[in-house]
A and B are shown apart, each in its own frame.
Chain A
Amino acid sequence: MPNPPPFFRWTLALLADRRFREDVLGNILEEFEDQVVAQGEPAARRWYRRQVLRSLGPLLRWRLTHREAGWRRALRALSLSTPGQDGKYAARSLLGAPGFSLTVILTFALGIGVNTAVFSLVHSLVLDPLPFPGGDRMVQLWRYEKLEDGRRSLGPPAAPMVAAWREEEGVFDQVGAYAEEEIHLSIDEGIVSVPGARISSEILSLISATPILGRLFSREDAIPGGGEVLLLTEELWARQFGSDPGVIGRTAWVDGTLHTVVGVIPSATRALLETTFFGAQTKEVLLPLLTDAAGGWTGSPNIVARLQPGLTVEEAQERLDVIQTRVAPLMEGQSEWFPLVVSARDALSWGFRRGLWVVFGAVAIVLLIACANIATLILVRRIARGGEMNVRLALGAGRSRLAGQLVTESLLLGGAGTLLAILTAGWMVHAAVWIAGGSLPVIRSARVDPETLAFATVAGLVTVFAFSLIPILHLRRLTPAGVVSRQSPGGWKPSAGWRAHGSLVVAQVALATVLVLSAGLLSNSLRRLLSVDPGFQTEGLAAVGLNLPRTRYDVGTERIAFFDEVVNGLERAPGVRSAGWARYVPPRVAGAPGTVNVEGRAAAEGEGFEVHAGNWVSPTYFRVVGAPFLSGRPFTEAEISDRAQVVIVNRTGAERLWPDGDGGVGSRIRLDSDFGPSPWMTVVGIVPDFKAWWLGDSPDRMQIYLPASDVPLRSGVILVRSDRDLGEVASLVQSQVRRMDPSLPIGETYWVGNAFRQSVARQRFQALLLSSFGILGLALAILGVYGVMSLSVTHRTREIGVRLALGATRGDVNRQFLARGLKAVGAGLALGLCIAFFAADLLADLLWGIGPTDPPTYVACAAGVLLAGLSASSVSTRRAMNVDPVEALRRE
């Protein structure tokens, strides 16, 4: 069968849209073949040509109105255009220098990617309001009192204050309250110990919660006996009720009272609750926060509120201060309490905002170093290609065309770098959430958000644009004659070049020095923190939480007997060296109980010595924790069971109470707490100082210990010192507990030493973060030093050759280059030390045990930077020593 006219077939194929090209060609071929059979080949060919010519119009019109896919067209157009050719050329030229391209792209990715990640974190921690409507208006309402040393002691506000705030019009939209509570839930069989909380009905509406089943709390639920109800979380509903939709109306025992399930809240609401109010602690059951007859909340709950739209935190503070003048007379013994309004977001990131900004600063410095580095790399490369540019100029390439190519190359580099930077950022945010999510609840909502993405892109493109300018400016100096003249490659004037590159080196080293110093200070501070002696032997000491439900252990003596029995059983168990119990164990001591007065010394109401931490301990407590008595003795069994009025104080406490040494064991003191003054208690022992709250606890604080009989001790800690591992200890304690009460679960089991190490988790995180930045910054700076020094050597090869030929020794040449490198590094180091010295105060808050201008740290860091700079210079100058004078001169 003959073929149709090829030119016309080709024309048709070119014109027909991709969508029906095959069909048109197939159809016309089919008819052509029919025509050949019917009328012969020449007629068929004529017919074919006519068909194609007639099809031109309709197909062209179609093509004009129906463009093919945009990217394909753009790509084709681009590949034919000047930018397209530039792109192809740039890609080829960058692929031809993979080391250079990779270094620039990686520098980009690290500089911009890390920056974006931290910007994202700062954004979600500091800038982003809480993720629900009105979250930016949410505030925590506290009270504070001024302590003698000028510090403020914070706490939940008093009932009259809260009542006045709730009545006041025009300040708050809504006021809510919440309190944590360990809840013992019994469902059908056995007791489950479930972490729960009591919340007022407003809390759920503040975070815009909706139930997945049933309803939320109403105000009526809060009236005692009015409605004993509870809300389940989705997880507990699934675990305990198999996600049964008929759970509403079922009952469960909560500490001896029957409660009705009224609703189930989704796990997203639970997460929001936990993050916003409960420091990321798990809460699986919600009970209504009860109100008293007057409608006020019982206990001392935490108070949150949503400000009226348009009201600032400062204005709200002023309003509350005014209200306080009215309320103060109603508050007996608490007249020195003042209201405090804190934005909820600030409260969430309390204490580490400063750290965050420091980290942000560090990242900005890394970015700057990265930029300086990219500039250096681009310059180095341009020198290397100076000859090529000269040749192309001589061959007739326009300067604008060369500039266009340089821009395209930079854009390609920047684009790839930015892309990698975005990936890096995503990965880093992910990692930060993973690392810090546990200790830092707000960080869990951190995401690389669109704004940050835009930030990264703009940062990337601005950097690219700025750096593509540098070689373009140099292009002006190029002349076609350069290719044949003795002009150095790229019209480079050594003196000017060294000045530019030298200043880049100085800047990079200075910035890196600041980073390394900050990292050094934080690491040193952390090292000191970790080497702090908690005051007792934490190794091998395990703690097991135990909570006794009020329903079955209502009488204090029963509870004490229970704890005693468990401890006695444990002491007999194999592998256990000693066991004891207490209300708390450091570093998880919960409260400052009040102030202490010494018998015989007159003290006004509210005065006395402030107690930093109080604990209620068993007779064996100090033996188990391994703290020797400085004088006196532990409590006796009899003192516990008889509720004797005895007390043990720490060394600092004794020194403060009796500075002249005229008291101590045998003296009597009294504790004034929120519950009023205690009876006079006889001091029976003095023990060493413990770190009560965390490793960095200030050393000179008073701690007191009361007999464990003295409090309504429902929850406590069993302490076990043994050679066994943690799981074995837990099952030992569990079996002892089960022997006495088969349905009682044990609480969290942990090593006390680990708890102390965790108490510095934030410091560890900051030190780790800044150290990574320090290493990153230093590495980039070293790369910069190396790049510039290499450039300088390359550039002066001829000069070196001449000098060697004229009799200079290689040592002379090497020394000269080394001196030049060291001068730049030294200048950078000095500048960096100055900056760090004057910016020292910014770090002061984050440091523990050392000052922000700690001389040993400065010396060590300076030595490190100098050494790094020296090795970078010497590696690059080694090339100078290897220059062959004959070879160098022959190049001319």
Chain B
Amino acid sequence: MPKGDYLAEFEIYVMLAILRLGDDAYGVSIRREIEERAGRPVSIGAVYATLGRLEEKKLVEFRVSDPQPVQGGRSRKLVSLTKRGLAAVEHSTAMLQRMLQGTPITQEG
């Protein structure tokens, strides 16, 4: 992994959410996923600013979905991790895990 792809905390949250959501990852679902799992309020602006940054680093990519199968359904801009994004998130979480190992706060539930 090239240097400089270190991820900020919120970036890791967003990327993990994308991973979890799979084919259903887009602004709303990502925001809700983080809010529900991390239990902290997340704004849609923060999600998009982060996605924009991640896209610039070529860690995520967008694609436009077919319109929703309801009347007036909109197309969604779906997000997925790039190969590089996947590598980056693996690297960052692995580092975090290594750092956590043996520290007193490591109380896996």
Contact = CB atoms under 8 A, between A and B. Distances in A.
Given A17-B52, A23-B77, A58 B27 contact: no
A17 B53 CA distance: 12
Given A54-B45, A54-B46, A56-B45, A27 B52 contact: no
B95 interface: no
A240 interface: no
Nearest to A23: B77
A62 B49 CA distance: 6
B48 A23 contact: yes
B93 interface: no
B70 to A, nearest CB: 11
Task: Determine which residue in A19, A27, A30, A66 has the highest number of CB atoms from chain B within 10 A of its CB, and name it.
Answer: A27
Contacts of A27: 26-28, 31, 44
A24 B44 contact: yes
Interface in A44-65: 51-52, 54-59, 61-62
A846 interface: no
A66 B27 contact: no
A23 B52 CA distance: 12
A58 B50 contact: yes
A328 interface: no
Contact of A58 (B32, B45, B56): B45
Nearest to A55: B45
A31 interface: yes
A28 interface: yes
Contacts of B27: 23-24, 27
B41 A62 contact: no
B5 to A, nearest CB: 18
Nearest to B51: A20
B73 to A, nearest CB: 11
Given A17-B52, A26-B74, A58 B46 contact: yes
B82 interface: no
Interface band, chain B? 10 to 19
B42 to A, nearest CB: 8
Interface residues of A, number: 24
A62 to B, nearest CB: 4
Nearest to A34: B28
Interface string B43-81: 111101111110010000000000000000010010000
B52 A62 contact: yes
B18 to A, nearest CB: 15
A63 to B, nearest CB: 9
B28 A54 contact: no
Contacts of A15: 45
Contact of B44 (A17, A28, A57, A61): A28
Interface in A8-29: 12, 15-17, 19-20, 23-24, 26-28
Contacts, number: 60
A51 B49 contact: no
Given A24-B27, A27-B28, A55 B52 contact: no
A57 B41 CA distance: 14
Interface string A27-47: 110110000000000000000
B44 A51 contact: yes
A169 B46 CA distance: 76
Given A20-B51, A23-B48, A58 B43 contact: yes
Contacts of B56: 66
Contact of B28 (A20, A31, A59, A61): A31
A62 B44 CA distance: 13
Nearest to B43: A54
A66 B49 CA distance: 10
A66 B52 CA distance: 10
A677 B44 CA distance: 105
Contacts of B46: 54-55, 57-58
Task: Determine which residue in A15, A59, A61 has the highest number of CB atoms from chain B within 10 A of its CB, and name it.
Answer: A59
Contacts of B28: 27, 30-31
Contact of A61 (B31, B32, B43, B49): B49
B47 to A, nearest CB: 8
Contact of B43 (A20, A26, A51): A51
Contacts of A61: 49
Contact of B45 (A24, A30, A31, A66): A24
A55 B51 contact: no
Nearest to A65: B53
A51 B35 CA distance: 13
B90 to A, nearest CB: 25
A155 B56 CA distance: 70
Given A27-B27, A58-B50, A62-B52, A16 B74 contact: no
Contacts of A17: 52
Contacts of B44: 24, 27-28, 31, 51, 55
A26 B26 CA distance: 11
Task: Determine which residue in B26, B31, B43, B74 has the highest number of CB atoms from chain A within 10 A of its CB, and name it.
Answer: B43
Nearest to B56: A66
B74 A24 contact: no
B25 to A, nearest CB: 12
A30 B28 CA distance: 8
B57 to A, nearest CB: 12
A16 B48 contact: yes
A20 B28 CA distance: 13
Contacts of A55: 43-46
Interface string B11-42: 00000000000000011100110000000010
15 contacts: A16-B48, A17-B52, A20-B52, A23-B77, A27-B26, A27-B28, A31-B44, A55-B44, A55-B46, A58-B46, A59-B45, A59-B48, A62-B49, A66-B52, A66-B56
Given A51-B44, A54-B41, 18 more contacts: A12-B45, A15-B45, A20-B48, A24-B27, A24-B44, A24-B45, A24-B48, A27-B28, A27-B44, A31-B28, A31-B31, A31-B32, A55-B45, A58-B48, A61-B49, A62-B52, A66-B52, A66-B56
Which 7 pairs across A and B sit closest by C-beta, in order of nearness?
A55-B45, A54-B43, A27-B27, A58-B49, A58-B46, A62-B49, A55-B43
Interface of B: 26-28, 31-32, 41, 43-46, 48-53, 56, 74, 77
